[in-house]
A and B are shown apart, each in its own frame.
Chain A
């Protein structure tokens, strides 16, 4: 079994007075694609943000490659080789597409070159001079993923990359994640689109009320389908 890259244990997170995560435990092994599923407000996004240090008030343990992250500021966490792609995509309006793409500093050697990025997302190459937020939703999502691939990060945290996108774009994003997996990237994904998640993920964690309540391997997917539907309320 591959080594554990990320080990989260007893993670609590707070936004001001509200207690969002109530002791999250999860593990992601090298080369895996792991998906967090659960209803809105279950704490999926907060879990990702706590791992990368974007939630100031967090307690418990987040270990990456054996190093404890819980007390590190987010820029030091990033430099260990973790890259985050937020749900709202976080494309900067005051930067053009090229500036957006080049913004995240290189974190490690072996980042994807621009040629590879444009092969993966040919649309971006045509639009380098456009204002970042003038891109379509799908193009913004591609840009948001592309810019973290440049950095050399080997561990990607993607928050709902398919949200609000047309099926053809979702397919393209799915192909991209498949390719990243083949290249050995480790991915922790938050996804509402279960059909999409089922195609790319190795394992699922189900979240409810700020806790992990279940873990499902892809092999058990069919026999657990009724459980999953109950969890997601569909």
Chain B
């Protein structure tokens, strides 16, 4: 059975790849959206922090003997803590200035972090093994589904939805949403908004690091893994619109799938399709598909 002359193996294989990529787009653009909402800063360091997550997993294994599952827990905390330091020492001085300053600072930080890792580890990747429990795969008849890839899709979807729930449906989330709109008033109600901003940045960075750990066994652990990805993620954010949590999740997964399908039907366009969509969205709806006009 073929679909438009495409064998199902190829179609579903690319769909799965698209879903995997989409999972990373979604987790990273979600973090960017959360950070932008609270800090008003476009966090260009996000790709480097994703890379640091993967390296944290690598180090924890090499020097701590701690495997994948520990890394999934610890790497976001460790990298998130470096985010907290960056926010306290640097970012908080920029909130009253134009977006451009935050963008420049975080972009510079990304270059520094990436340069340091490249200096130390070169540009070729370091291998990181799939955890024992998730090796192998399932033969679904129409395709072979590697267990680890299925895990990545499921867990990233779960993390995205949990983040959405936290922000849209809990008391803490109502503080976050309110402080995104009017931080001065929320603080005047007795809520420690500066601390909330710091923790929000730490959380967004931790989310990037979590994605990095998930990515380590699929892609290699490499200093450039974040910079390759982050450009696409920014296009995803532009398409989805800044500041919408569900928008970031839907756009991330959706564009991953579109990219995968393009690889099947018109491979020449697969690396540009997202940017073509971005250009069209910018022309028709500059605030993004889910964005609110400010």
- Do A and B make up one complex? yes
Give the interface of A toward B (CB within 8 A): 52-54, 73-75, 77-79, 83-84, 86, 90, 92-95, 99, 102-105, 107, 148, 151
Q: Are B189 and A78 in contact (CB under 8 A)?
A: yes
A-B residue pairs in contact (CB < 8 Å), sample of 5: A75-B189, A75-B190, A78-B190, A84-B185, A94-B177
Give a binary string over B170-187; 1 marks a CB under 8 Å from any A CB, 0 the rest: 010011011011101111
Interface of B is mostly: helix
* CA–CA, A73 and B192, complex, Å: 9
B181, A53: Cβ atoms closer than 8 Å: no
Is B75 in contact with chain A by the CB < 8 A criterion? no
Closest to A99 in B: B174
- Rounded to whole Å, the gap between the CB of B44 and the closest CB of chain A is 26
Which 4 residue pairs of A and B lie closest in terms of their CB atoms, listed nearest first? A78-B190, A104-B189, A94-B177, A99-B174
In the bound complex, what is the Cα–Cα distance between A8 and B185 (angstroms)?
21
Residue of A nearest to B167 (CB): A94
The answer for the CA separation of A81 and B182 in the assembled complex, in Å, is 21
Collect the chain B residues with CB atoms within 8 Å of residue A73's CB: 187, 194
B171 contacts which chain A residues (CB < 8 A)?
102
Shortest beta-carbon distance, A151 to chain B, in Å?
A: 7
- With A75-B193, A102-B171 as known contacts, state yes or no: A92 contacts B188, CB within 8 Å: no
Determine the distance from Cα of A75 to Cα of B189 in the docked complex, in whole angstroms.
6
Interface pair B188/A78, CB less than 8 Å apart: yes
Question: What residue of chain A has the Cβ atom nearest to residue B182's Cβ?
Answer: A90
Is B231 an interface residue, CB under 8 A from the partner? no
B134 at the interface (CB under 8 A from A): no
Q: Does B191 have its Cβ within 8 Å of any Cβ on chain A? A: yes
Q: Are B178 and A92 in contact (CB under 8 A)?
A: yes
Residue pair B181, A105 in contact (C-beta under 8 Å): no
Q: How far is the CB of A19 from chain B (nearest CB, A)?
A: 19
Of listed B182, B188, B193, residue having the most chain A CB within 10 A: B188
Known A94-B181, A95-B174, A151-B189; further 12 A-B contacts with Cβ < 8 A: A53-B188, A54-B184, A73-B187, A74-B184, A75-B190, A77-B188, A78-B188, A78-B189, A79-B190, A84-B189, A103-B175, A105-B190
> How far is the CB of A103 from the nearest CB of chain B, in Å?
6
Please give the distance in Å from B156's CB to the nearest CB on chain A: 25
Closest to A86 in B: B185
Cα distance A54–B182 when bound, in Å?
Answer: 12
Q: A53, A79, A94, A151 — which one has the most chain B CB atoms within 10 A of its CB?
A: A94
| Shortest Cβ distance from residue B200 to the other chain A in the assembled complex, whole angstroms | 15
Q: Which residue of A lies closest to B185 (CB)?
A: A90
Task: Tell me the minimal C-beta distance from A97 to chain B in angstroms.
Answer: 12
What residues of B have a CB within 8 angstroms of the CB of A105 in the complex? 189-191
A55: shortest Cβ distance to chain B, in Å? 9
**Which residues from B are CB-within-8-Å of A93?**
181
Contact B175 A75, beta carbon cutoff 8 Å: no
Report yes or no: A92 in contact with B187, Cβ–Cβ below 8 A: no
Q: Whole-angstrom distance between the alpha carbons of A94 and B173 in the complex?
A: 11
Are B180 and A75 in contact, CB atoms less than 8 angstroms apart? no
Q: How far is the CA of A134 from the CA of B60 in the complex (A)?
A: 51
